[in-house]
Amino acid sequence: MDSAFAGKGKDHPAADRTRRTAVWSLIVVPAQAGTQWARPMRERNPCVYILASKRNGTLYVGVTSNLVKRVWEHKHNLVEGFTQQYGVHTLVWYEMHETMESAISREKAIKEWKRAWKIRRIEEFNPTWQDLYGSIC
């Protein structure tokens, strides 16, 4: 077990390194916007994501290189700040990228979007606003 995850509990996605399984997900290639295909979700993949407190509730846009780990941290209130304060823990949208630079650029762009645009993007990808965390880990 990594010392970085010591004491975080047996449910932490990185706590048991022997439990790695391939997970298939939809991934968007920024250079070919709108093109999606399935491929295994690797442990380190640049990703932009949106969390929500509830349907049409408070939204949070973030970027990470390890989506499973980061969402787990949000869900267990290990990330101090906005998501902890407002109870924003439901993964409702994500987009994979080839490089961290493209993911950061996309995150900055999405943060500038109007709220209605973000909601439309979520509903195109996840019309019922289901928590997608179970589908990625």
Q: Give the per-residue pLDDT at 20.
A: 39
Q: Give the per-residue pLDDT at 26.
A: 45
φ/ψ of residue 112, rounded to 5: -85, -15
Q: Give the per-residue pLDDT at 79.
A: 87
pLDDT in single tens digits along all 137 residues of the chain: 444 444 445 454 444 443 333 344 444 444 444 434 444 444 579 999 999 999 999 999 999 999 999 999 999 999 899 999 999 999 999 999 999 999 999 999 999 999 999 999 999 999 999 999 999 98
Single-letter amino acid code for the residue at 17: R
Strands annotated E in 7-103? 24-28, 36-40, 47-52, 59-64, 90-96
Domains identified in the chain, total number: 1
Single-letter amino acid code for the residue at 105: S
Owner of token pair 């880990």 = 137
The model's pTM is 0.69
Dig out the tokens for 122 from the structure: 């979520």
- Domain containing 132 equals 3-136
- Residue 126 is given by DSSP the state -
Question: Which domain CATH number covers 88?
Answer: 3.40.1440.10
Question: For residue 137, which of 7, 19, 2 has the smallest C-alpha distance?
Answer: 19
